[in-house]
Structure 1
Amino acid sequence: MSGTGGADAGGTPGLSIFSKYDPLKQRVDVVNRIGVDPFNMTFDDIMGPTRGRIGNREIILAGTNNYLGLTYDEAARQAAKDAIDRHGTGTTGSRIANGTYVEHEQLERDLAEHLGKPSCIVFTTGYVTNLAAMAGLAGPNDVIFIDADAHACIIDGTRLAGTTTVRFRHNNPADLDKRLARQAIPEGGHALVVIEGLYSMFGDIAPIDEFVEVAHRHGAYLYVDEAHSYGVFGATGAGIAEEQGVLDQIDFYSGTFSKSLASVGGFCASRHPEFELLRKVMRPYMFTASAAPSNICAAQAALDAIKSRPELRTNIMARAAQLHDGLNRMGFDLAAPASPVIAIRRPNEAQAAMEWNWLLKEGVYVNLAVPPGTPQSSSLLRISVSAAHTEEDVNAILSRFRALKDQSGEILNEMMRKIAGG
């Protein structure tokens, strides 16, 4: 039966199943009146790690999370093509059925070796990685402690686990210390602390070394999501935990292929060999098709580049510092110190959307980030720097932001006209 959710359909008269989204629809309508829908962007062509095309316009890509620029790396592209020639385009089954190929196992061994862990499990996406691993690790008697700015997949992992969840103040080991001391853990249960390395919205870095000390002093396990920092930080690219000298103390380390590893997928590694047993209990791992061979082999080639090409990390840090310094000198309100993620706070959602559209027309693509997906209900223009960006690319981005600041009055007037329907 179809309809609008009337009483005869078992619903509230006059309301549809979509009525709960009316406040969201009003926000979407305002953004769409301002210009292009920023959450339904379509590129006519991607020409490389830093260039795209919309219509006849070439766009500088400054919001793709392509941190090391390896999506167009020749070795990664060739590895993906060769995998298709050998194994076809998909696996058609889960890892516990017909979906495990020799390449899946080789990548797991190589990631484990890079991180110095005895166990590593590869998943179909980074989101599924945290969903599966957290729900597999935590049982009904366990308590999960998560950072207040935790990513959606971490929050959903706690929901799937169905455990007691305690939030602590963002990047605040002292607050975690207090909460671990106060929280009673049921008999037979354990505490699992979940943080991120580089937070994806503000670009701020966690003091992982301090969290290690606090968590382990209370007998808790520490789970670190380094999705946005793996490949970018550390002497060998093993992330912020490596850079802070505590990689060997991380109990569970998760990451994604869709950033530095230039593919689609995810992984979780552990210093506990028993982690392998979770292959038999993690429902999102057991009941979803395994990653396509082309994705696995592209990630394998990107991993090889991470380990053998430290100049990629040198360049991305130099470009991040250049961009952060330039924006700071212009007086923009930056959310965190320099890192590959640079977030600019804007006064409100409408102004951020208007400025996002203006930048796109001027040939620069960044991310528009608004609540509820942002910390502190912030409205942000979010930039992700790539090792493939040149000094000239960053200067071009800075020139557009300088013009944006110079023309802010006219841009705001135009925004008000569009919102009013003029």
Structure 2
Amino acid sequence: MQDLFSKFDPLIQQREDLLATGLTDPFGLVMEKVLSPTVALCNGRETILLGTYNYMGMTFDPDVIAAGKRALDEFGAGTTGSRVLNGTYAGHREVEDALKDFYGMDHAMVFSTGYQANLGIISTMAGKGDYIVLDIDSHASIWDGCKMGDAEVVPFRHNDIEAMEKRLKRIPEGAGKLVVLEGVYSMMGDIAPLREMIAVAKANGAMVLVDEAHSMGFIGPNGRGVAEDQGVLDQVDFVIGTFSKSVGTVGGFCVSNHPKFEVLRLVCRPYVFTASLPPSVVATAATSIRKLMHGADKRAHLWENSRTLHKGLKDLGFQLGTDAPQSAIISVIMPDLERGAGMWEALLKEGLYVNLARPPATPAGMTLLRCSLCAEHSADQVQTIIERFARAGKVAGII
């Protein structure tokens, strides 16, 4: 009988070969204690965190924590129900109101994770007979939403406006069309040319969904993301986002101005058939979102951190994913998985945690060390990070 695990044998072997060299398991790290948004105890050592999505450092904000504690006391640990049954508490409405205020939009719908937000909205909006045109480097949750919805999927080369336009023009007349883009692509940290892409999409009669998971809170004059920064937010039909990045907790959402949007609460399966977020989580999210509306100083400091780290690593001789800093993500390209894992471990021994990213999650089969900066990283910490990269890079033979 065929072993259903056989298809994973190459990955199992690759992992065993990696660990046989004596390396720490880069995908099995345990944080014994988190001391702040930027420091944790890892393997008993105080470690600077450069591999979390805590872009605005809201996880330890006193107001955010206090809101969560109050909700836990007043509403208990969980809702034990779906949003369409008993799972809508006052806090769920409050966080949706906060999102509507944050984006200046008419409708907001909160999901239990950002993954579910993409899964739910994409699979519900584009079904059999419809077409989804999407960037080849789209997040796994976007691809899974496409697969679940049974629409015809038409990918195009990453950030290629002309390729996107060609795909759109080949779609049969009268068919439903959804263009799916991301503001910031999470592996390389590069941004999309949304202004041009949205213009092409609209000229070809398509609706547009933009995932702003890695830009919300940070990019744009009000932190609304790349679409706001490029002046095209009013042309986006659906903005998808998450609470697990800049908001500092967990959950996902979609905001929209479409007049029929509210019907999705009755037909979107990953919304209807999932228990709602715990009261403490939505309370922390609502408080954090409202504080991010006044986060201009934090955004400015985060941009300064990004520019400093990008220049520092480039000057050391590391190959980076972008020519200039475009977001809070700076990816460092490694020669291969083995040396990438060696560099990751050398950094951990220096007291610095980053993400080791490997295929198939990465574009073009690359191995990356992905650095995610935080607004709470001090200027001194950023200099320390650069110094630790210099020492680890020499130990690992990367520079």
TM-score under structure 1 normalisation? 0.92
Q: Does 1:42 align with 2:33?
A: no
CA contact (8 A) 2:108 2:253 kept: yes
Q: Residue 167 of structure 1: SS of its match in structure 2? A: strand
**Structure 1 residue aligned with 2:298:** 312
Unaligned runs of 5+ in 2: none
Match 2:281 to one of 295, 306, 312 = 295
Q: Does 1:268 align with 2:249?
A: no
Match 1:331 to one of 317, 321, 325 = 317
Matches within 5 A, 1:72-87: 72-87=60-75
Q: Cα 1:301–1:238, aligned 2, differ >3 Å: closer, same or farther?
A: same
Question: Displacement, 1:406?
Answer: 2.6
**Structure 2 residue aligned with 1:351:** 339
CA contact (8 A) 2:343 2:393 kept: no
Q: Residue 368 of structure 1: SS of its match in structure 2? A: strand
Which residue type is aligned with residue 294 of structure 1? S
Matches within 5 A, 1:374-413: 374-409=362-397
Matches within 5 A, 1:14-93: 16-34=3-21, 35-93=23-81
**Structure 2 residue aligned with 1:196:** 182
Which residue type is aligned with residue 230 of structure 1? M
Question: Displacement, 1:239?
Answer: 0.8
Quick one: distance in 2 between partners of 1:379 and 1:55?
24
**Structure 2 residue aligned with 1:277:** 263
Q: Which deviates the most, 144-153 or 55-64?
A: 55-64
CA contact (8 A) 2:126 2:178 kept: yes
Moved over 4 A (4+): none
Match 2:118 to one of 103, 124, 130 = 130
Which residue type is aligned with residue 103 of structure 1? G
**Structure 2 residue aligned with 1:341:** 329
Quick one: distance in 2 between partners of 1:117 and 1:304?
15
Question: Displacement, 1:92?
Answer: 0.4
**Structure 2 residue aligned with 1:211:** 197
Quick one: distance in 1 between partners of 2:39 and 2:349?
14
Q: Residue 245 of structure 2: SS of its match in structure 1? A: coil
Q: Does 1:369 align with 2:375?
A: no
CA contact (8 A) 1:116 1:248 kept: no
Quick one: distance in 1 between partners of 2:256 and 2:148?
20
Question: Displacement, 1:114?
Answer: 1.9
Question: Displacement, 1:54?
Answer: 2.1
Question: Displacement, 1:236?
Answer: 1.0
Deviation string 1:191-239 (CA, Å, 9 cap, x unpaired) is 1000100010000001111111000000000100000000001111111
Q: CA RMSD in A?
A: 1.3
CA contact (8 A) 1:323 1:398 kept: yes
Deviation string 1:150-187 (CA, Å, 9 cap, x unpaired) is 000000000010110000111111111111011225x5
Quick one: distance in 2 between partners of 1:301 and 1:25?
43
CA contact (8 A) 2:342 2:396 kept: no
CA contact (8 A) 2:98 2:290 kept: no
**Structure 1 residue aligned with 2:88:** 100
Question: Displacement, 1:405?
Answer: 2.7
Q: Residue 356 of structure 2: SS of its match in structure 1? A: strand
**Structure 2 residue aligned with 1:241:** 227
Question: Displacement, 1:310?
Answer: 1.0
Quick one: distance in 2 between partners of 1:282 and 1:357?
43
Q: Which has the larger radius of gyration?
A: 1
Which residue type is aligned with residue 379 of structure 2? E
CA contact (8 A) 2:321 2:331 kept: yes
Quick one: distance in 1 between partners of 2:43 and 2:184?
34
CA contact (8 A) 2:332 2:369 kept: yes
Quick one: distance in 2 between partners of 1:209 and 1:216?
11
Question: Displacement, 1:17?
Answer: 2.2
**Structure 1 residue aligned with 2:348:** 360
TM-score under structure 2 normalisation? 0.97
Unaligned runs of 5+ in 1: 1-10, 413-422
Quick one: distance in 2 between partners of 1:159 and 1:309?
37
Question: Displacement, 1:301?
Answer: 1.1
Deviation string 1:323-379 (CA, Å, 9 cap, x unpaired) is 000001111110013120000111101110111011101100000000011011110
Quick one: distance in 2 between partners of 1:112 and 1:174?
33
CA contact (8 A) 2:346 2:395 kept: no
Question: Displacement, 1:408?
Answer: 3.4
**Structure 2 residue aligned with 1:143:** 131
Deviation string 1:374-400 (CA, Å, 9 cap, x unpaired) is 011110011000000011111111001
Question: Displacement, 1:31?
Answer: 2.4
